[in-house]
């Protein structure tokens, strides 16, 4: 072929090539940036020729207004072509919203959702949530949810992630879910094109550990997969709590949160969730449903929500330490000596004692995010370790009788956050209980769990104990903390 004919052929092919490239780019970009909630069929075609080592994948997005909710997620059809290769067609008959909702269930619970459009997961000790992947109506006057389903079922859910605490649950308003083939329902006063997530702001609101552990993290786990295209409905609406975490709510949902107390009407949704999924104390487990989310993801979500500056401790130039000073119980009786020791080791020390400062999470999160070390006695304030940059150090002063709670609530979660966790376990003579109960071999110190009934033990160990740390022992712990900050290895 001479040069002129090759030139003509090139110009004939170029427009079609450009059209194919632009069409492919448009489809891929559109699919990536948009959560499509309307029913849709996705068909994947691939071809492989025996004479070629390369393969091509073509994706066709076909609108389907009558997608079958009872089909399996994917079907494979294999058929022969005229050439020596084989072609495979995969049809995806599940609407994307249904797929997202199904990620909140597993095993038989997920199978039931596919078959009936409604299923609940109560396998966890602390959480129970129900999922609807078809049209649902929520009457906010009575907090009754009606679902057109092939299964006749009525379920009552108290949407709070502490299901094991039965007395506490009585403070959480119930949501009744009625599923059936033909149900009387109020006419829709508000039609939504996004799913709903119903949760409660009751429970232990006012305590930062319980606020984040049982509401904020479970809400993140449940709602994050919708990428802000979700309608939050906050039962037992607590204005102070909602204001405190408003920046986090705005990051989770682009729509204004519905307060059933002031919005008494019937809302219709294409699907939704009642209740929240709980993974563990201050935990987001990537292997638990919905799979893929991690504690690191949640920490980044907090940084984005509260506009936090530092992601890693190496970004902070000077060793900066925050000491959380308590004024009621579990006080440091020789706090001045502790501060002097930390400064002698080279730390810039910030002491925070005012409850008002700590409760303002928007500003306090920025303070703790700027620190390399966080020191505190066991208590809810340690929840703020979530805002530390990666590689920072948490030093928990572990008091008598509180070792299990110290590890379960803050120690183990802290390690999972990418932090260095140091435990300063006090000796009996460092506790104020020494003067009350002594001597050292008293069962008060050797068998804290078996000495008192639960409530009495709580009052003694949690609410009746202060500490005077041994400065020499404490100095050793702070030297270790400084070594982590500077990236030193004390074992060499």
Write phi, then psi, for 465 (nearest 5 degrees). -125, 135
CATH code (residue 454): 3.40.50
| Inside any domain, residue 27 | no
Task: Give the per-residue pLDDT at 16.
Answer: 63
Task: Give the per-residue pLDDT at 15.
Answer: 64
Give residue-wise pLDDT tens across range 192-248: 999 999 999 999 999 999 999 999 999 999 999 999 999 999 999 999 999 999 999
Give residue-wise pLDDT tens across range 358-383: 889 999 999 999 999 999 999 999 99
In the chain, the largest separation of any two C-alpha atoms, in whole Å, equals 104
pLDDT above 90 as % of the chain: 67
Over range 465-491, report the average pLDDT.
90
Task: Give the per-residue pLDDT at 61.
Answer: 36
Over range 314-326, report the average pLDDT.
96
| Inside any domain, residue 28 | no
| Inside any domain, residue 388 | yes
Same domain, 107 and 208: yes
Same domain, 69 and 110: no
Same domain, 111 and 140: yes
Choose one of 26, 59, 94: the last residue of a domain.
94
Task: Give the per-residue pLDDT at 67.
Answer: 36
Give residue-wise pLDDT tens across range 332-362: 999 999 999 999 999 999 999 877 788 899 9
| Inside any domain, residue 26 | no
Same domain, 81 and 137: no
Over range 392-406, report the average pLDDT.
96
Average pLDDT, the chain: 84
Task: Give the per-residue pLDDT at 328.
Answer: 86
Same domain, 387 and 374: yes
Cis status of the peptide bond prior to 439, with omega within 30 of 0: yes
| Inside any domain, residue 87 | yes
Same domain, 56 and 124: no
Number of domains forming the structure of the chain: 3
| Inside any domain, residue 16 | no
Choose one of 52, 74, 94: the last residue of a domain.
94
| Inside any domain, residue 187 | yes
pLDDT: which is higher, 307 or 74: 307
From the list 201, 290, 198, 294, the residue with the least C-alpha distance to 253 is 198
Task: Give the per-residue pLDDT at 30.
Answer: 53
Give residue-wise pLDDT tens across range 4-63: 555 445 456 666 666 666 666 565 555 444 444 444 433 332 323 333 333 333 333 333
Distance (Å) of CA 100 to CA 29, 147, 191, 382:
19, 18, 20, 34
Same domain, 130 and 67: no
Same domain, 332 and 441: yes
Task: Give the per-residue pLDDT at 464.
Answer: 92
Same domain, 84 and 107: no
Task: Give the per-residue pLDDT at 385.
Answer: 98
Same domain, 251 and 152: yes
Choose one of 255, 289, 323: the last residue of a domain.
289
| Inside any domain, residue 482 | yes
Distance (Å) of CA 109 to CA 176, 329, 336:
19, 45, 56
Same domain, 53 and 102: no
Domain boundaries, position 429: 306-486
Task: Give the per-residue pLDDT at 110.
Answer: 94
Same domain, 46 and 62: yes
């Amino acid at each position: 072929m001479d040069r002129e004919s090759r030139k003509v052929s090139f110009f004939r092919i170029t427009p079609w090539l450009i059209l194919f490239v632009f069409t492919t780019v448009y489809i891929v970009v559109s699919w990536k940036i948009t959560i499509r909630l309307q029913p849709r069929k996705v068909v994947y075609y691939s071809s492989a020729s025996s004479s070629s080592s390369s393969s091509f994948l073509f994706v066709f997005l076909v609108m389907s207004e009558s997608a079958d909710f009872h089909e399996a997620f994917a079907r494979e059809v294999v058929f022969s072509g005229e050439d020596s290769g084989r072609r495979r067609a995969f049809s995806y008959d599940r609407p994307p919203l249904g797929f997202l909702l199904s990620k909140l269930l597993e095993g038989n619970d997920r199978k039931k959702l596919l078959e009936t459009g409604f299923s609940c997961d109560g396998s966890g000790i602390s959480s129970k949530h129900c999922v609807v992947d078809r049209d649902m109506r929520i009457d906010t006057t009575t907090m009754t949810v009606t679902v057109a389903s092939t299964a006749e079922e009525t379920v009552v859910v108290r949407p709070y992630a502490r299901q094991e605490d039965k007395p506490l649950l009585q403070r959480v308003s119930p949501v009744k879910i009625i599923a059936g083939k033909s149900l009387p329902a109020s006419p829709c006063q508000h039609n939504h094109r996004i799913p709903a997530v119903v949760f409660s702001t009751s429970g232990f609101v006012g305590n930062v550990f319980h606020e984040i552990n049982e509401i904020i993290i479970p809400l993140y786990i449940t709602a994050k997969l919708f990428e802000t295209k979700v309608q939050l409905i906050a039962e037992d609406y607590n204005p102070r709590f909602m204001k405190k975490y408003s920046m986090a709510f705005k990051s989770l949902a682009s729509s204004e949160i519905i307060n059933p107390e002031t919005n008494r009407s019937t809302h219709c949704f294409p699907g939704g969730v009642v209740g929240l999924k709980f993974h563990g104390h201050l935990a987001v487990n990537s292997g638990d449903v919905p799979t893929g989310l991690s504690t690191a993801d949640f920490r980044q979500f907090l940084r984005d929500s509260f506009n936090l500056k530092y992601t890693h401790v190496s970004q902070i130039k000077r060793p900066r330490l925050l000491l959380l000073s308590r004024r009621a119980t579990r006080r440091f009786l020789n706090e001045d000596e502790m501060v002097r020791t930390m400064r002698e080791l080279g730390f810039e020390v910030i002491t925070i004692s005012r409850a008002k400062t700590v409760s303002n999470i928007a500003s306090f999160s920025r303070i703790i995010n700027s620190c390399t070390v966080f020191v505190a006695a066991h208590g809810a304030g340690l929840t703020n370790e979530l805002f530390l940059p990666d590689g920072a150090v948490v030093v928990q002063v572990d008091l008598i009788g509180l070792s299990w709670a110290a590890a379960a609530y803050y120690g183990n979660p802290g390690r999972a956050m990418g932090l260095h966790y140091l435990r300063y376990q006090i000796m009996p003579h460092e506790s104020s209980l020494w003067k009350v109960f002594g001597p050292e071999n008293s069962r008060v110190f050797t068998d804290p769990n078996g000495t008192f009934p639960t409530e009495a033990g709580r009052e003694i160990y949690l609410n009746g104990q202060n500490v005077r740390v041994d400065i020499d022992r404490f100095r050793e712990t702070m030297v270790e903390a400084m070594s982590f900050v500077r990236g030193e290895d004390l074992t060499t």
